């Protein structure tokens, strides 16, 4: 009886309460029946989209939010609602477009400006997020404190944020192989394979771990040496591409550091053009040393930095100096078995100066 009265008094609040109690699917059914009965307007449709998303029905949520925005092209909250659903679905460029459209329709709609900041944050773009949050009113700034703190922490990290890397490579995955092997003259896997032959001779039946395995170009260069080949990558879309190659025995979506703390032991660990997304390499060197058998190899390419440290380059890839690599290698218990200058790829038709490195666990 009490429920029936609440439904009658404020059906949208009733649906919101259901969703807050973890009954999102029930809330969606209730809202759908309201709309089907001709008793639901714009707000009911937006609430339905949110309830569907909370119930894990992302595609249906997107359909409802898109249809609502189309039916209300001049209503800012409809664009805002679609932007919020797109943001949660990880469709970041389109989400930003909808938030900006909402702001054009109603420049005072603070939630849309907050949404832009959140979408940049989700894309790992700390500076752009902070610029958007910087335009909020005092009251909204107070509400956005956790996101502002997150963006500030992100901009201080000595590595590329995993959200930035995931977003970048989810987008890049579509034509990664064509662009890398064509226009960008990508050679890191071949260079590492040649370096391995130089420092280790002919080895077979190895347990190999490929860090930042991407679409599998690096794994493919070593497949014939591997009894078992594992790959890990932050980008689900890159992992899907590598799965289609059918050369890995195990593939995981995640940060490479997680593969180095599982207690597995490998004969060879690869990181072809992956460490350019990390500045400070202490943790990855330490993890690689723990995950290799004695005498095992850690093979990687980096972009070259002069001097004796590491730094973020203009293309948002980190560069590492020889002396930094040697110092960190010694600290982690590695011998430098080989270190040579190379051109792992080109950028804007110019060769990128790099280093190919083979470390042997002592």
Ligand X SMILES: C[S@@+](CC[C@H](N)C(=O)[O-])C[C@H]1O[C@@H](n2cnc3c(N)ncnc32)[C@H](O)[C@@H]1O
Residue 272 makes contact with ligand X by CB under 6 A: yes
Only segment of 16-24, 37-45, 266-274, 307-315 that touches ligand X (CB under 6 A): 266-274
d(CA 71, CA 42): 9
| CA distances for 236 relative to 15, 173, 211, 249, angstroms | 33, 9, 14, 17
Of positions 47, 86, 165, 225, contacts ligand X by CB under 6 A: 165
Residue 169 makes contact with ligand X by CB under 6 A: yes
Residue 268 makes contact with ligand X by CB under 6 A: no
Among 239, 128, 123, 126, smallest CA distance to 176 is for 239
Of positions 67, 240, 255, 335, contacts ligand X by CB under 6 A: 255
Give me the least distance between CB of 37 and ligand X, in Å please.
48
Tokens 């773009």, residue located: 125
d(CA 33, CA 85): 21
Going residue by residue from 212 to 251, which x/- string records binding to ligand X, judged by CB under 6 A?
Answer: xxx--xx-------------xxxx--x-------------
Of positions 274, 291, 305, 321, contacts ligand X by CB under 6 A: 274
Give me the least distance between CB of 200 and ligand X, in Å please.
19
Of positions 256, 292, 302, 358, contacts ligand X by CB under 6 A: 256
| CA distances for 306 relative to 51, 234, 309, 320, angstroms | 54, 29, 8, 8
Closest CB to ligand X among residues 60, 157: 157
CA–CA–CA angle 283, 284, 288 (5° rounding): 120
Only segment of 27-35, 100-108, 149-157, 211-219 that touches ligand X (CB under 6 A): 211-219
Residues 46-75 that bind ligand X (CB under 6 A): none
Closest CB to ligand X among residues 151, 302: 302
Residue 57's contacts (CB-CB under 8 Å, 6 or more residues apart) are: 28
Residue 269's contacts (CB-CB under 8 Å, 6 or more residues apart) are: 208, 209, 211, 288, 291, 292, 296, 297, 298, 299
Q: Which residues bind ligand X (CB under 6 A)?
A: 165, 169, 188-189, 212-214, 217-218, 232-235, 238, 255-256, 272-274, 277
């Amino acid at each position: 009886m009490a429920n029936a009265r609440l439904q009658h008094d404020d059906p949208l609040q009733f649906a919101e309460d259901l969703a807050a109690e973890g009954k999102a699917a029930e809330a969606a059914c209730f809202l759908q029946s309201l709309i089907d009965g001709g008793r639901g307007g714009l707000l009911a449709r937006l609430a339905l989209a949110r309830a569907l998303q909370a119930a894990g029905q992302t595609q249906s949520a997107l359909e409802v939010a898109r249809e609502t925005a189309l039916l209300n092209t001049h209503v800012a909250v409809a664009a805002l609602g679609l932007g919020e659903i797109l943001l949660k679905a990880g469709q970041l460029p389109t989400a930003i477009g909808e938030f900006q459209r909402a702001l054009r329709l109603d420049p005072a709609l603070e939630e849309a400006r907050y949404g832009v900041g959140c979408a940049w944050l989700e894309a790992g773009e700390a500076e752009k997020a902070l610029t958007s949050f910087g335009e909020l009113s005092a009251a909204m700034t107070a509400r956005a404190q956790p996101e502002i703190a997150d963006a500030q922490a992100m901009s201080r990290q000595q590595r590329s944020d995993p959200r930035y890397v995931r977003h970048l490579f989810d987008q890049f995955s579509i034509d990664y192989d064509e662009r890398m092997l064509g226009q960008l003259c990508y050679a890191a896997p071949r260079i590492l394979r040649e370096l391995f032959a130089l420092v280790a001779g002919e080895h077979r039946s190895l347990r190999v771990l490929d860090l930042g395995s991407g679409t599998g170009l690096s794994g493919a260069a070593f497949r014939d040496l591997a009894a078992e080949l594992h790959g890990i990558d932050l980008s689900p879309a890159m992992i899907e591409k590598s799965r289609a190659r059918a050369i890995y025995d195990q593939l995981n979506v995640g940060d490479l550091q997680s593969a180095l703390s599982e207690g597995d032991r490998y004969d060879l660990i690869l990181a072809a053009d992956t460490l350019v997304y990390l500045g400070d390499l202490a943790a990855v060197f330490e993890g690689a040393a723990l995950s290799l058998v004695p005498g095992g190899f850690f093979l990687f390419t980096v972009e070259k930095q002069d001097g004796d440290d590491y730094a973020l380059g203009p293309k948002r890839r980190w560069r590492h100096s020889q002396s930094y690599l040697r110092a960190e290698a010694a600290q982690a218990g590695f011998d430098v078995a080989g270190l040579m200058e190379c051109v792992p790829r080109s950028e804007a038709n110019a060769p990128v100066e790099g280093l190919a490195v083979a470390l042997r666990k002592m």
